[in-house]
């Protein structure tokens, strides 16, 4: 009898689920009503942000069963011959011209540098050749910004901003033909210097709430009465504003008399205004973090501009937010990530070399485990971030505009670059904190907060955008559920909701299976030895998808305000993406066996961080029974993942200490000076000399230990060895050259007290002579 009742109950449930009208009325309708109560409505600006750009690999990671073919079929990023020639020619020449100390002391780029940047078309890299620009790919654009920015930050910012979110990009996408024909050639030739003004005193990260207003009205322009707008604005933090000749301006347009016929508040609008237009105020400067790039406020009060100043003309009035979000989906993926990666590569190149040439206790400091720990982190950051940069620019060049991935890369690259520079500063010790022309790191260190703050502050990007927008954009069903529920579309909601249920149950099964078996049965693309990492990524993708669904189910719209939880889920998504990129880039590079320690370290550390973030999410879910069950599913044998061991970390650190193909590949794209009077050139010179004479130094150290030579150091030991006949005259010259090269590197700048106490430019300190240094 009991089995009969159970069978009847099962049949009734199946009938309820199978019969769509019955299912919709008895199950889907109540669920939709509950969802409408729990979820906040999506505002117009939020909807436009969600609709901007594309989804790609991020959406695959949300499925819990990523299709590796989607990732691996993406063509690798490659530079054309013309792009490579530009990097080897004009960009290399620009880097030779740049003197960070001079720029910092002058508080601006020298005029010859400005002229070179304009004349070589560096302000028009994204402008097509048809308009006189360089027409570069995203990969080439990224390479230029990385190389210049790592050499000198002010020049890097100056080059990157006109090619990022700004007038050129907006004109290309949305401008009228007349606007494009007028402005784009002038921008490409450097005849116009653009800036874009979005941020104001009360609207920073919440840029959609800009208070700046424009009112549609009639006014006089060039002696004629025309329909236009009277605009008032107060903007700050605007890069290139003090020297700009054309101002891109975002403001909220109002039309109380409905002269445009689109209601009283058309909305956020973007206009392009010549800075010599009456009423435009520019010229004053901020001094962000003491960095010399041109940045400042712009203001205007009741400035009348014609409607034709709107980018795209009057039909684009009120469409500014959608336009900005569309541009940001791509632009945020390039400039700031390139700068962050450049910082990580600079840290890797300089810290590794310095740790090899700087000796303490008669040992290179790079042989100490504490220093190696920092070097390992630096190398790992450089590897994972550069892989993310290459794969993302490849996606952009393939026509994909990954909005969520752009936020991941911006946040991770700027934060990771900061961590790498900080570690490199620790490795350099006192050398890194003394400001002067021989300091290779302080300029980058000084500018670190800038990248963390702009184009969406990292705290906001992590806690609200990466997972908050990512969940709605990338989840296979969630956005459709929200949209159909808000629209009252029961049929559409029924289809989306039960699709979500099937998705949830499938991930539940995958999580149980993969975690019980250690991921051995998870999907892998057949990549040989790399398959073990692909399987673990698939396993963690399923874990992430299940926990994300659980958090959404338990917290609903409240998850938007639980920023600690959403931030940890954002970290998991970020790790999944960057590990995927590391694997793909390793394959695109031809799977060089010498790079495997770097790849293995990145994957091991990434998987450990994912475990820890998911554990913290579960520890803070408010429904404890659900958290308990999820913990049993995710960690059936306990939290078994561990960080990379010290032996692997030592191998990674050694890649920075040894000149060779791995170090060169890891830091590829940096400007490498050959000038011994340049701080970075002197460091490279010292490394070569030290490595070349290492065997000789070891012989002399052994002679000291054996008592055959006195316990001296440096030049004194070398002379004693020569006098005792232990080395030849040519060997002595080699040792002396190496010693002088090292002393040149480890010296720090010193100034006359009077020079530092008086205002104005501090004179360049004279280098101490080598004999004195010795």
- Residue corresponding to tokens 């700027």: 414
Q: What's the longest Cα–Cα distance across the chain?
A: 107
Residue 525, SS3? coil
**Around Cβ 512, how many Cβ atoms within 10 Å?**
16
Q: CA angle, 16 as apex, 10 and 21 as ends, to 5°?
A: 170
Rounded-to-integer distance, Cα 228 and Cα 225, Å:
9
Rounded-to-integer distance, Cα 210 and Cα 206, Å:
8
The two beta strands, 194-197 and 246-254, are parallel
Q: What share of the chain is helix, strand, coil (3-state, %, to 5)?
A: 65, 10, 25
- Round to the nearest angstrom and report the end-to-end CA distance of the chain: 99
With CA atoms as reference, report the closest residue to 569 among 604, 542, 545. Answer: 545
DSSP string, 142-158: HHHHHHHHHH-HHHHHH
Catalytic residue list contains 455 = yes
Of 48, 419, 455, 684, which one is the catalytic site residue? Answer: 455
What residues contact residue 756 under an 8 Å CB cut-off, 6+ apart?
762
Q: CA angle, 728 as apex, 724 and 731 as ends, to 5°?
A: 120
545's tokens: 């998808």
The residues facing 413 across adjacent strands are none
The two beta strands, 359-360 and 246-254, are unpaired
Give the phi and the psi of residue 731 in degrees, each rounded to 5. Answer: -65, -40
3-state secondary structure 45-79: HHHHHHHCCECCHHHHHHHCCCCHHHHHCCCCCCC
What residues contact residue 513 under an 8 Å CB cut-off, 6+ apart?
521
Rounded-to-integer distance, Cα 774 and Cα 771, Å:
5
Give the phi and the psi of residue 747 in degrees, each rounded to 5. Answer: -65, 150
527's tokens: 């990549």
Q: CA–CA distance from 114 to each of 85, 94, 121, 402 (Å)?
A: 21, 10, 11, 33
The residues facing 226 across adjacent strands are 219
Q: Is 752 exposed, middle or buried (0-12, 13-18, 19+ CB in 10 A)?
A: exposed
Contact between residue 409 and residue 391 where contact means Cβ atoms under 8 Å apart: no
What residues contact residue 574 under an 8 Å CB cut-off, 6+ apart?
408, 411, 412, 466
Rounded-to-integer distance, Cα 350 and Cα 427, Å:
10
With CA atoms as reference, report the closest residue to 614 among 575, 582, 661. Answer: 575
The one-character DSSP state at 766 is P
Contact between residue 244 and residue 197 where contact means Cβ atoms under 8 Å apart: no
- Residue corresponding to tokens 């009741």: 302
Contact between residue 568 and residue 544 where contact means Cβ atoms under 8 Å apart: no
Rounded-to-integer distance, Cα 30 and Cα 38, Å:
12
Q: CA–CA distance from 88 to each of 365, 667, 669, 672, 681 (Å)?
A: 34, 16, 10, 12, 17
The residues facing 2 across adjacent strands are none
The catalytic site residues sit at 455
């Amino acid at each position: 009898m009991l089995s009969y009742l159970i069978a009847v109950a099962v049949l009734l449930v199946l009938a309820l689920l199978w019969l769509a009208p019955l299912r919709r009325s008895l199950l889907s309708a109540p669920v939709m009503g509950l969802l409408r109560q729990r979820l906040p409505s999506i505002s117009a600006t939020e909807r436009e942000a969600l609709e901007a750009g594309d989804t790609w690999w991020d959406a695959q990671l949300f499925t819990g069963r990523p299709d590796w073919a989607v990732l691996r079929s993406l063509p690798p990023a490659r530079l054309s011959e013309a792009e490579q020639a530009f990097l080897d020619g004009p960009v290399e020449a620009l880097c030779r011209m740049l003197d960070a100390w001079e720029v910092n002391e002058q508080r601006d780029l020298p005029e010859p540098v400005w002229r070179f940047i304009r004349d070589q078309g560096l302000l028009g890299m994204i402008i097509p050749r048809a308009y006189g620009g360089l027409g570069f790919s995203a990969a080439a654009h990224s390479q230029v910004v990385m190389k210049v920015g790592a050499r000198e930050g002010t020049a890097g910012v100056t080059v990157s901003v006109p090619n990022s979110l700004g007038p050129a990009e907006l004109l290309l996408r949305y401008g009228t033909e007349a606007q494009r024909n007028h402005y784009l050639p002038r921008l490409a030739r450097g005849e116009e210097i653009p800036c874009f003004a979005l941020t104001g005193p009360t609207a920073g990260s919440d840029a959609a709430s800009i208070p700046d207003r424009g009112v549609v009205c009639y006014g006089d322009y060039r002696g004629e009465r025309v329909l236009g707008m009277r605009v008032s604005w107060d903007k700050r933090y605007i890069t290139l504003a003090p020297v700009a000749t054309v101002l891109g301006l975002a403001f909220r347009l109002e039309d109380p008399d409905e002269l445009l016929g689109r209601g009283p508040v058309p909305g956020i609008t973007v206009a392009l205004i010549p800075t010599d237009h009456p009423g435009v105020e520019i010229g004053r400067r901020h001094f962000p973090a003491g960095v010399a790039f041109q940045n400042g406020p712009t203001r205007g009060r009741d400035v009348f501009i014609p409607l034709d100043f709107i980018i795209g003309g009057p039909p684009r009035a009120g469409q500014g937010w959608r336009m900005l979000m569309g541009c940001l989906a791509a632009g945020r993926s390039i400039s700031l990530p390139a700068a962050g990666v450049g910082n990580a590569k600079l840290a890797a190149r300089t810290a590794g070399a310095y740790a090899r040439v700087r000796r303490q206790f008669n040992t290179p400091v790079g042989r100490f485990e504490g220093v190696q720990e920092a070097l390992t982190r630096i190398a790992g950051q450089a590897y994972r971030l550069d892989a993310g940069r290459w794969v993302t620019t490849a996606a952009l060049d393939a026509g994909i505009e990954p909005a969520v991935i752009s936020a991941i890369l911006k946040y991770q690259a700027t934060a990771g670059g900061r961590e790498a520079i900080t570690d490199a500063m620790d490795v350099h010790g006192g050398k890194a904190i003394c400001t002067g022309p021989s300091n290779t790191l302080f300029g980058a260190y000084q500018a670190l907060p800038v990248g963390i703050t702009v184009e969406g502050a990292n705290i906001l990007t992590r806690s609200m955008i990466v997972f908050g927008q990512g969940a709605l954009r990338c989840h296979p069903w969630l956005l459709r559920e929200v949209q159909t529920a808000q629209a009252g579309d029961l049929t559409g909601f029924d289809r989306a909701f039960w699709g979500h249920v099937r998705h949830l149950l499938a991930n539940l099964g995958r999580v149980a299976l993969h975690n019980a078996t250690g991921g051995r049965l998870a999907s892998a693309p057949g990549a040989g030895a790399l398959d073990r990492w692909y399987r673990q990524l698939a396993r963690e993708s399923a874990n992430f998808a299940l926990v994300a669904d659980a958090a959404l189910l338990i917290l609903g719209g409240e998850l938007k305000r639980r920023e600690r939880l959403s931030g940890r889920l954002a970290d998991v998504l970020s790790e999944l993406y960057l590990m995927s990129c590391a694997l793909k880039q390793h394959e695109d590079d031809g799977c060089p066996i010498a790079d495997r320690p770097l790849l293995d370290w990145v994957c091991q550390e990434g998987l450990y961080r994912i475990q820890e973030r998911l554990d913290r999410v579960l520890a803070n879910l408010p429904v404890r029974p659900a958290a308990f069950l999820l913990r049993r599913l995710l960690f059936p044998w306990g939290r078994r993942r561990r960080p990379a061991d010290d032996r692997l970390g030592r191998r990674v650190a050694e890649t920075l200490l040894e000149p060779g193909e791995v170090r060169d590949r890891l830091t590829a794209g940096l400007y490498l000076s050959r000038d011994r009077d340049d701080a970075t050139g002197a460091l490279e010179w010292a490394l070569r000399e030290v490595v070349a004479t290492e065997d000789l130094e070891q012989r002399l150290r052994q002679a000291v230990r054996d008592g055959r030579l006195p316990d001296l150091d440096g030049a004194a030991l070398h002379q004693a060895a020569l006098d005792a006949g232990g080395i030849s005259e040519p060997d002595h010259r080699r040792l002396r050259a190496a010693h002088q090269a090292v002393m040149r590197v480890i010296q720090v700048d010193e100034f006359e007290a009077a020079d530092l106490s008086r205002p104005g430019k501090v004179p360049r300190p004279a280098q101490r002579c080598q004999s004195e240094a010795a």
